[in-house]
A = this chain, B = another copy of it.
């Protein structure tokens, strides 16, 4: 194997001297790269104007923690600023900072261990320590050639090499773990090797400790972490975190180990996985909070900035990618971002409806995304999880959905129960309520069987099963996806089908949701929805609990829900709420059912839960079809006191019949009736003929589904 070039002013970790010249030329022109450099300079310049500070240890979110994090960002930024400006003071700053760290690093004790991630010397967990090494290596690699041999020996011998040893010897197991933390570790060690000219480190990073490219190392990681469609099992929140070291190390390997042809590796897996990540985002750029995730993480994250630039430079750029870059508002300050210099054309397309299959060979279900733009260009998106459980961070929500419409998440994810980096909230770590509530089935837009979490909240059991795709139609005015989960509750077969209907009567696409449960025995079925806002109308009227609210249960998340109001349902439900500027109406077929309005906040001794609203549509049956439709309508602009369309067009949903062949329902709009027919046959194909006789009426259709007027 070819050895990497030794570091010289002609080759830095992330770009060559030739690329640097192009970048230098670009940043003085108006454009996104120059603006982003100005932002970077504005953010870091005040800190680079004063000598570096090296604190001791602290909790996540503490001053010490924040300062170590800032320091690695400063070292990297100073490296780039040195190369772009040629100003010696940047190199000096890095020299002082790294020297100070080298002076103390080996004399620092390890943090006390508080969670599953082993502690580092600088940080409470190794993950942050690997991030530190990665960024410090990038910055060091930009200025190393200006330091004398003694300085290099001190920094490398007392800081960088001991860190590598820590990761690859003491925590060798984690280094070879195929996981996002492992990806950070290999990228850090590899980039350190490139920065200091130590090919052995690069070899370990690329090939794994065993050198087999299978049990560990970067190639094994990117081979095994993603499904053939590029989906990352832990979900977009962790995917955007993993994509950062992935892209950084790939770009360095392309430069320093070109013979690997990393961007072509495994059928261009890097391209596939970047596109998969971008395809999960909501229209406003936020990532749906699948599994443990913040509700505000978005495509503006640093990793996604890097990924978009890498895609543009290495795999090309189209209008959708340019529009994404524009939405990001800034670009990575790197030659790759020069490929993003163009302005997105007006009305550049949104990411299309997509099905991202899960599992090593794509056979363990999928995450389905349906999208549709209305006449005003506003994009609706419904997401259904019919794939795998997300490992240790997985939520027990197979067949769960989220629904984004008219600029807001309407059927919502709670996200994780955690205040990341908030020192006073358990050091920023996961809170007990994450397991007790946030990961439970009832906290999602799902059906809960007999008040119990899917798979009994057993991660091993959940990891062993997965959802099963039924069909997916991602184009046209009637988009739909349907899937099954047969192993998540013993003895209960579940099928969920969601449709996105573009109708001329409606300002926004209508969401239709059919959740069918089949069992030999009676069960309590709770169709759960999470929403936000103020109820403005309900038929039948709600009966509020006016004097006291009681917790709804003892376990499985119910102990955290208060019942705030109820309604007995005999002939369906229609309920409207105002969320921000928009009204949303939910119509459901329901007989012999009860509606419970809920609020999270019970069983919360430490004020760890947010108080969020929900609905539980409860019924008792063996086999049952929950059929619902959701319309977004009207506008309420409180500041200007304008309001229209507070009443929906959607009037009712009626189930005409359902069996193993199919489900037939009617959706009543103000001046129109829609009849929907949908296949329940596991063997359905586009040409399969279906027929149901319901009363005297025969309903027949070909293929997955049909939608007829009248």
B542-A643 in contact (CB<8A)? no
Of A117-125, A154-162, A421-429, the stretch lying at the interface with chain B is: A421-429
| Residues of B with C-beta under 8 A to A420 | 638, 641, 643
In the complex, per-residue mask of A594-612: 1 if CB is within 8 Å of any chain B CB, else 0: 0000010111111100110
Check: A649 CB closer than 8 A to any chain B CB. Answer: no
| Residues of B with C-beta under 8 A to A298 | 639
Output the least CB separation between A184 and chain B (Å): 15
A239 to B673 CA separation, bound complex (whole angstroms) = 49
| Residues of B with C-beta under 8 A to A640 | 300-301
In the complex, per-residue mask of A228-264: 1 if CB is within 8 Å of any chain B CB, else 0: 0000000000000000000000000000000000000
A599-B611 in contact (CB<8A)? yes
Q: Taking A542-B607, A548-B548, A604-B546 as contacts, is the C-beta distance between A536 and B576 under 8 angstroms?
A: no
Q: Taking A423-B647, A565-B607, A636-B422 as contacts, is the C-beta distance between A548 and B551 under 8 angstroms?
A: yes
Output the least CB separation between A582 and chain B (Å): 12
| Residues of B with C-beta under 8 A to A437 | none
A544-B422 in contact (CB<8A)? no
| Residues of B with C-beta under 8 A to A534 | 419, 607, 610
A551-B547 in contact (CB<8A)? yes
In the complex, per-residue mask of A539-554: 1 if CB is within 8 Å of any chain B CB, else 0: 0001110111111000
| Residues of B with C-beta under 8 A to A41 | none
B537-A424 in contact (CB<8A)? yes
A497 to B284 CA separation, bound complex (whole angstroms) = 45
B63-A644 in contact (CB<8A)? yes
| Residues of B with C-beta under 8 A to A610 | 534
Q: Taking A578-B422, A644-B66 as contacts, is the C-beta distance between A603 and B639 under 8 angstroms?
A: no
A550 to B551 CA separation, bound complex (whole angstroms) = 12
Output the least CB separation between A217 and chain B (Å): 28
In the complex, per-residue mask of A284-309: 1 if CB is within 8 Å of any chain B CB, else 0: 00000000001111101100000000
B297-A643 in contact (CB<8A)? no
A636 to B543 CA separation, bound complex (whole angstroms) = 39
B294-A641 in contact (CB<8A)? yes
A188 to B642 CA separation, bound complex (whole angstroms) = 22
Q: Which residue of B lies closest to A415 (CB)?
A: B638
| Residues of B with C-beta under 8 A to A611 | 599, 611
Q: Per a CB cutoff under 8 Å, which of B66, B543, B548 touches A549?
A: B548
Q: Per a CB cutoff under 8 Å, which of B422, B535, B606 touches A643?
A: B422
Output the least CB separation between A530 and chain B (Å): 15
Q: Per a CB cutoff under 8 Å, which of B301, B422, B546, B551 touches A551?
A: B546
A643-B61 in contact (CB<8A)? yes
| Residues of B with C-beta under 8 A to A428 | 643
Q: How many copies does the complex hold?
A: 2
Q: Taking A296-B638, A544-B607, A601-B564 as contacts, is the C-beta distance between A422 and B549 under 8 angstroms?
A: no
Check: A369 CB closer than 8 A to any chain B CB. Answer: no
Check: A562 CB closer than 8 A to any chain B CB. Answer: yes
Max chain B Cβ within 10 angstroms of own Cβ: one of A565, A636, A639: A639
| Residues of B with C-beta under 8 A to A604 | 544, 546
A548 to B551 CA separation, bound complex (whole angstroms) = 6
A643 to B481 CA separation, bound complex (whole angstroms) = 40
Within 8 A of B (CB), among A554-573: 562, 564-565
| Residues of B with C-beta under 8 A to A300 | 639-640
B638-A578 in contact (CB<8A)? no
| Residues of B with C-beta under 8 A to A606 | 544
| Residues of B with C-beta under 8 A to A564 | 601
| Residues of B with C-beta under 8 A to A642 | 66, 421
Check: A281 CB closer than 8 A to any chain B CB. Answer: no
Check: A27 CB closer than 8 A to any chain B CB. Answer: no
Output the least CB separation between A650 and chain B (Å): 14
Q: Per a CB cutoff under 8 Å, which of B66, B549, B643 touches A423?
A: B643
A424 to B576 CA separation, bound complex (whole angstroms) = 9
Within 8 A of B (CB), among A630-687: 636, 638-644, 646-647
| Residues of B with C-beta under 8 A to A419 | 534, 536, 578, 636, 643
| Residues of B with C-beta under 8 A to A605 | 543-544, 546
Output the least CB separation between A176 and chain B (Å): 27
| Residues of B with C-beta under 8 A to A607 | 534-536, 538, 542, 544, 565
A546-B602 in contact (CB<8A)? yes
Q: Per a CB cutoff under 8 Å, which of B536, B543, B547, B639 touches A422?
A: B536
A664 to B234 CA separation, bound complex (whole angstroms) = 57
Max chain B Cβ within 10 angstroms of own Cβ: one of A61, A63, A420, A578: A61
A294 to B641 CA separation, bound complex (whole angstroms) = 9
A546 to B155 CA separation, bound complex (whole angstroms) = 54
A304 to B549 CA separation, bound complex (whole angstroms) = 44
A sample of 18 more A-B contacts (CB under 8 A), given A420-B643, A543-B605, is A66-B644, A294-B639, A294-B641, A296-B638, A297-B641, A298-B639, A301-B639, A419-B578, A420-B638, A420-B641, A422-B636, A423-B646, A423-B647, A424-B536, A544-B606, A547-B602, A548-B602, A565-B607
8 A-B pairs with C-beta separation under 8 A? A66-B642, A295-B638, A419-B534, A419-B643, A425-B536, A534-B607, A547-B603, A564-B601
Lowest 10 CB-CB distances: which A-B pairs, in order?
A: A421-B643, A535-B607, A296-B639, A296-B638, A424-B646, A548-B550, A424-B537, A61-B643, A549-B549, A424-B536
